[in-house]
Amino acid sequence: MTKLSHKKESNWARRGQTAGAWRPLAVAALFAFAGSAGAAKVAAGHVPFRVSSDCQICHGMHGAATDYGVIPKLAGQHKAYIVQQLQQFRDGKRADNNGDVYMLPVAQALTNGQINEVASYFAAQRPRMQSAGVQHAGAAQGKAIFTNGVASEQIPACAECHGANAQGAGTFPDIAGQRYDYIVQQLKYFHNGTRSNQLMNQIAKNITVPQMKAVAAYLSSL
CB nearer ligand HEC, residue 34 or residue 108:
108
CB nearer ligand HEC, residue 19 or residue 34:
19
| Spatial distance between the Cα atoms of 97 and 113, rounded to a whole number of angstroms | 26
CB nearer ligand HEC, residue 32 or residue 202:
202
| Spatial distance between the Cα atoms of 81 and 163, rounded to a whole number of angstroms | 15
83-104 per-residue burial string, b: 16 or more CB within 10 A, e: under 16 = bbbbebbbeeebbbebbbebbb
Q: How far is the CB of 40 from ligand HEC (least distance, A)?
A: 26
Binding of residue 160 to ligand HEC (CB under 6 A): yes
Q: How far is the CB of 83 from ligand HEC (least distance, A)?
A: 8
Q: How far is the CB of 52 from ligand HEC (least distance, A)?
A: 10
Q: How far is the CB of 58 from ligand HEC (least distance, A)?
A: 3
- CA angle, residues 24, 25, 30, in degrees to nearest 5: 100
Binder of ligand HEC out of 64, 71, 104, 217 (CB under 6 A): 71
Residue 32 in contact with residue 125, Cβ under 8 Å?
Answer: no
Q: How far is the CB of 25 from ligand HEC (least distance, A)?
A: 19
CA-wise closest residue to 79 among 142, 45, 125: 125
- Amino acid letter at 125? Q
Q: What is the DSSP string of 148-193?
A: H-BGGGTB--THHHH-TTS--BTTB---TT--HHHHHHHHHHHHHT
How many residues bind ligand HEC, per CB under 6 A?
Answer: 42
- Taking residues 94 to 123 in sequence order and writing x for each that binds ligand HEC by CB under 6 A, - otherwise, the string is x-x-xx--xx--x---x-------x-----
- Amino acid letter at 50? R
Residue 194 in contact with residue 98, Cβ under 8 Å?
Answer: no
Binder of ligand HEC out of 104, 123, 139, 203 (CB under 6 A): 203
Handedness of CA 88, 93, 98, 100 (dihedral sign): positive
CB nearer ligand HEC, residue 135 or residue 148:
148
Q: Max CA-CA distance within the chain?
A: 62
Binding of residue 72 to ligand HEC (CB under 6 A): yes
Catalog residues that contact ligand HEC under the rule CB under 6 A: 50, 54-55, 57-59, 70-72, 74, 82, 85-86, 94, 96, 98-99, 102-103, 106, 110, 118, 145, 155-156, 158, 160-162, 172-173, 175, 178, 183, 185-187, 197, 199-200, 203, 215
